[in-house]
Structure 1
């Protein structure tokens, strides 16, 4: 004889099942709510506008989508694009290193000291509004038309915009939390790692993204002005030959690389930098923080 367990038909169970069914999103809702859909919609909108412009208003100037994509395919399947792109990336990394370290020192000095803020304030204000092409010309003429001059010019131009993030981030540090960590005997290294660094993670990631954005823009301008290789030089060369198809193909290839760098390098680094928000506090992984544990022990 088989005994069947009675079904739970209580109102509470029925409400739970109804709530679960209502809260579970359908597959179509998840797809429509995905960010990828909106990114693809943006790309399709750009392509649609391009098709309309190349067949109507700008038909005599703007190349068609198939012609440009064909030129882009030839560019990406050859070796020239990657050789020139590597030269550009190398300069960007050099300029980023100079700009990021310098901006960190200046920004933290301004955030921690009124004297430092007064000393560097004029540099930040004028640096954010200065015409970059003029400064790049001065540096390239003064130091010579070479790669080192390009890296120095790029780093100098990017410093003011990046330093603002560290400046404001340092000013917003929770001094009460830092004083509390000193009371409970935290070493300077522990204070920096567990108190200061998590608070600076947001401004540091924002500064890194902005630094790369500024460097990507300035490196093309500097290569276009005075260098004999790199993506900027190739775009300028195609422009002088009135080859708009090559100009657009190089531009799209450059933008593809920048987008891949954003989603493959910067986004994972950002998620890793904010992992501390999802972890329980304390060095043993428990629910209590180290500060609370030490306070309870001393009490």
Structure 2
């Protein structure tokens, strides 16, 4: 019988410790529940029973579909618009000057202000959470894509021009491979943020969705329902991360596994494929973006 590879053993060990952390958390929760009144902190099995009841009634599916649609729609709009803006900011000085103050403004407005304005403008509707997700996520996407554009090796660009490569070939073989890790890192973090943003706005002014159900549980002082909806929220985010985003990452960066063994070992020591950290929106991120581009001489 063939022994499992080192990679398989590492994967199994990571899954074991992840499960061990969950078991430890549930154990601490169960012990704390024995020291408090049930209406203050219900036991894990009580919350699990309530979660099953919500699944059986269909409330979970309906409310999650509403929150999912609002979060994904806003995130998708922000990714498309932010990628275009980030590409222009990373490529052209005039575009950086044009968008700098707008990105700075959008990134530094407090989230609570966005939520209140969305409720005032759109009322209790699905447009409120969607608009907040767009406004809050777009600056992060734009800054990450712009940072990726600024990291493009100008020697490769010059070499492509010297060999008369077309703009499409330059985009496909130089620009996109360089920008993809930055864009994926920003998109991965912002996708999780989109759920939290949509739920927050639904909590303040919504008539459906996970955030609305959490707010309703709070007003009814039902800690059991509150923890049940929080549990659904956490489970869904973890499943999306483990089943969707991880597989997308492996497909996008499959070329890393095709490198020579020595190169793969060096890459593992350096860190994951999404090493570029998401650039935080705000004064520091925007100023570093513009100053760095000026020093590198990128742009028209």
TM-score normalised to structure 1 length: 0.78
Within the alignment, does 1:208 sit opposite 2:180 as a pair? no
Of residues 139-148 and 244-253 in structure 1, the stretch that sits farther from structure 2 once superposed is 139-148
SS where residue 215 of structure 1 aligns?
A: helix
SS where residue 242 of structure 1 aligns?
A: coil
| Superposed displacement of residue 219, structure 1 | 0.4
| Superposed displacement of residue 279, structure 1 | 4.5
1:142-291 alignment, distance < 5 Å: 142-279=121-258
| Superposed displacement of residue 127, structure 1 | 3.4
Contact 1:31–1:37 (CA<8 Å) still a contact in 2? no
Q: 1:276 to 1:232 in 2, by over 3 A?
A: same
Of residues 265-274 and 115-124 in structure 1, the stretch that sits farther from structure 2 once superposed is 115-124
Of residues 49-58 and 163-172 in structure 1, the stretch that sits farther from structure 2 once superposed is 49-58
In structure 2, C-alpha distance between the alignment counterparts of 1:187 and 1:32, rounded to whole Å? 42
SS where residue 228 of structure 1 aligns?
A: coil
Could you tell me which residue of structure 2 aligns to residue 71 of structure 1? 50
Contact 1:53–1:59 (CA<8 Å) still a contact in 2? no
Which one scores higher on RCO, CA 8 angstroms, separation ≥ 6?
2
In structure 2, C-alpha distance between the alignment counterparts of 1:32 and 1:53, rounded to whole Å? 32
| Superposed displacement of residue 214, structure 1 | 1.5
Within the alignment, does 1:50 sit opposite 2:29 as a pair? yes
| Superposed displacement of residue 132, structure 1 | 0.7
User: Which of the two has higher C-alpha Rg?
Assistant: 1
Structure 1: 5+ residue stretches without partners: 1-23, 281-299
Could you tell me which residue of structure 1 aligns to residue 290 of structure 2? none
Q: 1:191 to 1:138 in 2, by over 3 A?
A: same
Within the alignment, does 1:110 sit opposite 2:89 as a pair? yes
Structure 2: 5+ residue stretches without partners: 260-300
| Superposed displacement of residue 31, structure 1 | 7.1
Q: 1:57 to 1:114 in 2, by over 3 A?
A: farther
SS where residue 186 of structure 1 aligns?
A: coil
| Superposed displacement of residue 277, structure 1 | 3.2
Q: 1:58 to 1:212 in 2, by over 3 A?
A: farther
Contact 1:50–1:65 (CA<8 Å) still a contact in 2? yes
Aligned positions, number: 256
TM-score normalised to structure 2 length: 0.78
